[in-house]
Each structure stands twice: as C-alpha cells, then as structure tokens.
Amino acid sequence: MEHVAVGWLVFDITGSAFMVGVAAAARMAPLFFLGILSGAMADWLERRLFLFFSALGGVLVSTVMATILLLGDPPAWSVIVLVAAGGCVFAFTLTTRNAYTYDIVGHQNALNGLSLNQMAMQSGGIGGAIISGALIDWVGPGWQYFAVGASYLGAALVLLLIGRSTRTVQPQREPVLQNLYGYVRFLKENHVIMVLMCLASITEILGFSHMTLLPVFAKEILHLGPVGLGYLTAVRQAGGLFGLALLANLRDYRRKGFLMFVVAIGFGVGLMAFSVSSALILFIVILAAVNACAMSVDTLYRALMQSNVPDEQRGLAMGSWVLSIGVAPVGHVGIGALASVLGAPGALLLNGSVLVAVSLAASIKLPNVRNLE
C-alpha cells in the first residue's frame, strides 16, 4: 500500500520521474545506514518482541503521514522525510524477520522458509496494492495511510498473540557495541559474504530500481489512473508470488549458487523487454516475469548468506544483506535521471543490459560462488 501511495503521490505533486526516484531513494537509504546496527540488534534482542516494536513504529509513521495529508497539500519534502522515517522501520523489520524465520525452520528448510515468508509478503502486497489504488481514487491518500497504519497494528497484534516459539534458537547475546566492533572482523573472515553483498548491491541498483518507474509507465505510457497503478502493482506482486512458489518447492536444492546466477540473468533480460512493452497485456506479462525473477534472486541471496555463517552470526549476515540493498537510492535516483533523458523504456533497457553482462561475467569468473549450496 505504501509503495503505490508514495509513487503516485510524489509524481502527482511534482510531475517529475526524478522526484519519484528521490522518494524511492528516501525509502531505501535507511537500509544502508542502519543495516549493520539492525543486524547487531537482531543478534542481541528477542527477535519476536523486536519485530513487535518495529510494527508499532510503522503505526506511528503512517498516522503522522495521514494527518499531514488530510490537513492540506503538503510540500514534497515533508512527504519524503516521512517516507525516510518509514524506511527506518523497514530496515529493522527486514533484518529481524529474516533471521527469525531462519531460527524457526533451520538450515535444511531455509530456502522453503524464506520463500514462504516472502510469499506471505507478496500475497499481502497483491491485496494491498488493489485496495490502495481504490482508496486513493475514492477517499484520497490521507485516509489510505490510516489503512496502512491499521495493517501495521494488525501485524503487531499477531506477533503479540503468537507467543515465543519453542522452536526458536536465539543466539548467545553480546552487547550491541561489541557486535558492531566485530562486524569488520566478520567481513574480513568471510569472503563469500562480501561477494554476495556486492552481487546483491549490483542487482538492487540495476534491477530493483525498475519499481520506481511503475507510476511513470502507468501515467504516461499506459495512460492509467491510481486504480490502474494499484492493479499493476498487484500484478507485480503476483509475479513475485509465482516465482517464490516455484522456489519454495525446490526444498533443499543443492545448486543454489548456480540458480542465483541463472535467475539474475533472467531478471536482466526481463528489464530489457520493457523497451518493447507499450501494449498493456505485454507489459503485464513482462512485469510479472520480472518480479518473479526479482523475488527469487533476492531470496537466494538471503538463503546463501545465512547458510554460510554460524548461527551466532546470522543476524550480522542479514544486516549485511540489508546494508547491500541499502545502496538502492543510487539505483532509484539514477534510473529517475535516466528516464528523464532516455524515457522509462530506454532507462530499463540500459539497466537490464548491464545486469545481464555483470551476472554472466560473475558466473564465469566466480566458480566458488557458482557452486555454493
């Protein structure tokens, strides 16, 4: 719901694809700055309660956003500041939720568990995107943000009601500061994590930035309103759900490193196909396929990062992943600037070409990563 609202709101206020990129960058920037801290805290605090308080933070930010929107027409900068505040909540939630999922399912079922976790998020995203577009069209973005806050509150109540899982294995805790000091040593000792971080960052910059241009495609190329944007976002989420369902059914698949490269190359090819997708049906098919690859490769990065560290460092591993995707502002601002010059299809054609080239070269030059299980 937030993704639909922010993209439409900022593009409606400013009429600028670049400013939509800036708003998306504000959402993702906290992941870069808070990635290491969130990993350290996920290894130190009881993860279920940490998720509970993160959800309450989401309630607060959404309520403030709803209030300023209902009071009048806010300047773009105030919306972007609150988007960044929501990004802080997002950073802590992402790290802790993935580590908590791995706690429950264990190493053997890590790919299944992380895929199912992401499938739940995608399923909620389908309904949320459709509801969001309808609410913006019907009552405006202000009341829509109250619905976002209600969703965060619902998540908090679920975490409160389920109680602490008896299957959860909480790592031995160290002080957060000591955990932070050990992070540099952790990266020096684990070259695989460093390589996976670099690959995840490249994929985030070149691939996931395509989401920034969805409002631009909806309004300028496909000539759709906010309801249409909501349905496009739902299609994107449904494509991700399909890809994750396939991934979850692989169970304890051994050649995860090889599969990661194959999916990343497919991701890049899909982005290139956007340059020929001005027809609505073709655009929908490509959008679903692209997000199937996006969600699958992202889940593979997380699974491989957690599988290649001891249990007591899995919070740091997920903090490393959050730090990696925290470079997303570079991609969002960059693709917004490219779209201003080349148009949205041209920007995605360029990004997709580079992603294919990098993924193909890495798969050939890094056999130790390609052979990861």
* One-letter-per-residue 3-state SS of the chain: CHHHHHHHHHHHHHCCHHHHHHHHHHHHHHHHHHHHHHHHHHHHCCHHHHHHHHHHHHHHHHHHHHHHHHHCCCCHHHHHHHHHHHHHHHHHHHHHHHHHHHHHHCCCCHHHHHHHHHHHHHHHHHHHHHHHHHHHHHCCHHHHHHHHHHHHHHHHHHHHHHCCCCCCCCCCCCCHHHHHHHHHHHHHHCHHHHHHHHHHHHHHHHCHHHHHHHHHHHHHHCCCCHHHHHHHHHHHHHHHHHHHHHHHCCCCCCCHHHHHHHHHHHHHHHHHHHHHCCCHHHHHHHHHHHHHHHHHHHHHHHHHHHHCCCHHHHHHHHHHHHHHHCCHHHHHHHHHHHHHHHCHHHHHHHHHHHHHHHHHHHHHHCHHHHCCC
Length of the chain: 373
| 74-79 CB contacts, 8 Å cutoff, 24+ apart | 76/10, 76/13, 76/14, 76/19, 76/23, 79/6, 79/9, 79/10, 79/13, 79/23
Q: Do 187 and 194 form a contact (C-beta atoms < 8 A)?
A: yes
Q: How far is CA 27 from the centre of its chain?
A: 10
Domain boundaries, the chain: 2-162+176-370
In angstroms, the CA 151 to CA 89 distance is 14
Q: Domain 2-162+176-370's class?
A: mainly alpha
**Whole-number pLDDT of residue 118:** 76
pTM of the model: 0.66
At 362 the pLDDT is 92
AA identity, residue 104: I
Structure tokens that stand for 293 in this block:
């690859």
pLDDT by position in tens, the chain (length 373): 887 778 777 877 777 777 777 787 788 777 777 766 776 676 677 778 888 888 999 999 989 988 988 887 888 888 888 888 888 888 888 778 877 887 777 777 777 777 788 778 778 877 787 787 778 878 878 888 898 899 999 988 988 887 665 444 454 555 555 555 666 677 677 788 888 888 989 998 888 888 878 888 887 788 887 778 778 888 888 888 888 888 877 766 678 889 999 999 999 999 999 877 778 888 889 999 999 999 898 888 888 887 777 766 666 777 777 778 777 778 877 888 888 888 888 888 999 999 999 999 999 998 888 887 7
Which amino acid, residue 54?
S
Residue 293: per-residue pLDDT: 92
With contact defined as beta carbons under 8 Å apart, do 313 and 95 qualify?
Answer: no
Q: Which of 215, 209, 210 is nearest to 8 (CA)?
A: 215
CA distances in angstroms from 130 to 134, 169, 225, 289, listed in the order given? 6, 37, 12, 19
The residue whose two tokens read 């990062």 is 305
Which residue is it, tokens 């922010």?
6
Instruction: Measure Cα distances from 254 to 71, 104, 195, 246, 250 in Å.
Output: 55, 21, 19, 15, 9
Q: Are 2 and 79 in contact, with CB atoms under 8 Å apart?
A: no
- Per-residue tokens: 18: 């670049």
> By the 8 A CB rule, do 116 and 248 touch?
yes
